[in-house]
Amino acid sequence: MQERSTRRSVDLSGFPDLVVVILGIRVRRLRGVMSIIGIGKGLTQIADTPPTGLLCQEQMFFGLTHLGIRQYWRDFESLEAFTRSEPHATWWREFLRDSGGTGFWHETYSASRGIEAVYVDMPGPVGLGRFAPERPPIGPFLSARGRLEGRLEPPPA
């Protein structure tokens, strides 16, 4: 006997400024395994004590050496406040100095602002980077806010 599928949907009308962030980290060198273990501890801390505005967080596997996280935020301001607070701000500064044998990327999908992405030390294109033209993260494109607000401006000549 064949079972009938259960079909469901959600009402997002209460979340007009919803932001979905997909983050990925890929091991590029052996020492990257230790970096991922450290990031895992931070993610556990976030799950245990969610920052203001974080609605949900889920972990994903893109492959044996490529892990991901999907986060749902109430609004961009909550996400931005978290990224500028400790311990995230320090982790990000240190990561930009030394990526620890890993590559990192994130893509932000905002219901009210649009889409932006950044890729750091990735060995090849992933996600939006597989089809959208590359643009250096300089000037207004250095921050997620700048990439969202400047998405309609043409790149510098």
Domains of the chain: 19-138 (3.30.70.100)
| pLDDT score for 27 | 95
Instruction: Name residue, tokens 């556990």.
Output: 44
Percentage of the chain beyond pLDDT 90 is 70
Quote the pLDDT of residue 119. 96
In whole angstroms, what is the distance from residue 148 CA to residue 116 CA? 6
* Neighbouring C-beta atoms of residue 67, cutoff 10 Å: 20
pLDDT per residue as tens digits for the range 61-78? 999 999 999 999 999 999
Q: Look at residue 56 in the predicted model and tell me its pLDDT.
A: 95
Using N-to-C axis directions, what is the helix angle for 76-83 and 88-97, rounded to 10°?
Answer: 70
Residue 80 pLDDT greater than 70, yes or no: yes
Measuring CA to CA, which residue among 51, 103, 104, 107 is closest to residue 79? 51
Please give the model's pTM, rounded to 2 decimal places: 0.88
